[in-house]
A and B are shown apart, each in its own frame.
Chain A
């Protein structure tokens, strides 16, 4: 294996590695704009130039493969001068409109200028070339050509990752600019990754636009629950509001994050977010609504026996919440009509990330099914359609997924658990709200069987509690509590599933 020395530190790396990768392995930072570990090398920005012994001039670290005995230096006067000059070129026509740019605070132009540049501009502001600003580019992006440094990360992303080829560099030499190909629009399912890839403020997210300055944002790692892929994310939030979701690269799950996944936080602030319970379409405080739901359960069990009540698990809920549902059926209602069987087609849909299964926890549900058994889905549908069932307790989206298979539900009462009103497909006797995944901890098993945990970042609206708490209260009201009152009890009960 070739041995390379950078700034006096030596490392062995397999042939084909570049100087930049070697430096990274040695913990030496080389500034870069166009280099991205997940994209091909283009070498357009020239920022990563380093001095290599026996080479006549500076070499770019991102594109120079290491050779045995190579000696490179990143701290010489020539390298420093090159970085400064490259920055001056990149900034020559830059509008320096940082006050109105969303990238400010996480912009590599700003960072590198402070680290390596600190030059005075030789181009007066009025002499700078003006280009199109705030041009709409697809559903989620805004393109500002003045700020662009032509690193072509966005072009390569569309060519290599999504393979949709929407972007191109138009024009020649210093008149070139990033353009959308004729007849195309930038609307692939991963377009927001471009805003994140862009090292400057040329592509910015329309959703995040002007909402918050990035230096106010707090970051916390969590898991996306938009589909069965289980992508790792970083939740950016401030003052109890989530502002955006970013991918947190994990070799087992994801490098990128799809647009739909990035928009999952919208449900938290949606206008139809349930903050109160609903009883027969009338809004009601949550506590009395839980008592009302318990009353419905008792009535049904008293009149027609516990076997006239059905409890559905849900592939959209965490293991904790499904456990509470299963316990509700077994302990409180003492009914054997529990269904944890939701067979779903899984697999990567588009060859990148998005899964065919839009439920995040179908495999977690299987773990619970192994323990609690319960009805198969076919048997459940037969049972419900037979008319012997008087009451269903279910999560909104799980019940909706059975919509086509179920006959008229009008003579069956339902207690539905939901986060937003738009999830509700059925008229319900009682709707109880619960805390969304950004507001509570929950375990999910992705399509590969990887167990992951969401982390709460913001607080739920007043009075809205995690689903397992709601079900625990409900069970207490029926007189046979499932005893899931605090996090410690919950942890003990789910420990067998999250080994």
Chain B
């Protein structure tokens, strides 16, 4: 339900038209914040991001920076099927497939790049993945970097297992 706020568009009265009193009222608000921040720092609403972050709640945890899961033997679970790149509305995933000759799983991502400066954090890649190989549960919020290259994640930067991994979910894991 959208709330409707009615704006009172009555003409200004004399005091308001003089303006000085209204400016003074504005200064009072600023002064109040100044003294509250000065004497009770705990009540400051602003966070000094990225040095300080707020703990994420509920589903927000599931739309954070990507990671690629690994199998027990350290190889990426990803098999470079390109479904995430296909689902991605921002075209931020770049994959090049390679071929394992020794492993039973023939295909692996030789290159897997996520361009976080293009990513819209929609989570479609995670939904599309048939191998349970990509996740967005690192609880790192991308941004706040000084160099553009730092927003460009390559495969080795993405490979990361979290507590509870490696899992054996995913079709190709039967072969691994």
Residues on A lying within 8 angstroms of B by beta carbon are 95-100, 104, 125-126, 133-134, 209-211, 213, 215-216
Contact = CB atoms under 8 A, between A and B. Distances in A.
A99 B104 contact: no
B172 interface: yes
Given A98-B130, A100-B107, A210-B98, A125 B83 contact: no
A contacts with B: majority SS: loop
A99 B79 contact: yes
A129 to B, nearest CB: 13
B52 interface: no
A210 to B, nearest CB: 4
Given A104-B81, A209-B99, A213-B82, A99 B106 contact: no
Given A210-B107, A215-B86, A96 B80 contact: no
Which 5 A-B residue pairs are closest in the complex by CB-CB distance?
A99-B81, A210-B97, A100-B107, A213-B82, A100-B79
Interface string B102-118: 00111100000000000
Interface in B116-169: 130-131
A97 B99 contact: no
B83 A99 contact: yes
A5 B81 CA distance: 44
Contacts of A97: 171-172, 175
A396 to B, nearest CB: 33
A126 B131 CA distance: 16
Contact of A133 (B80, B83, B104, B130): B104
A99 B130 contact: yes
9 contacts: A95-B175, A97-B175, A99-B131, A133-B104, A134-B106, A210-B97, A210-B98, A210-B107, A213-B82
A211 B99 CA distance: 10
A134 B105 CA distance: 10
A20 B107 CA distance: 38
Contacts of A216: 82, 86
A353 B99 CA distance: 33
Contacts of B83: 99
B174 A126 contact: yes
Given A100-B106, A216-B86, 8 more contacts: A99-B171, A125-B174, A209-B99, A210-B97, A210-B98, A210-B107, A211-B97, A213-B86
A126 B174 CA distance: 7
A210 B83 CA distance: 13
B139 to A, nearest CB: 27
A277 B44 CA distance: 68
Interface string B77-93: 00111110010000000
Contact of B172 (A100, A104, A126, A209): A100
Nearest to B175: A97
Contacts of A126: 174
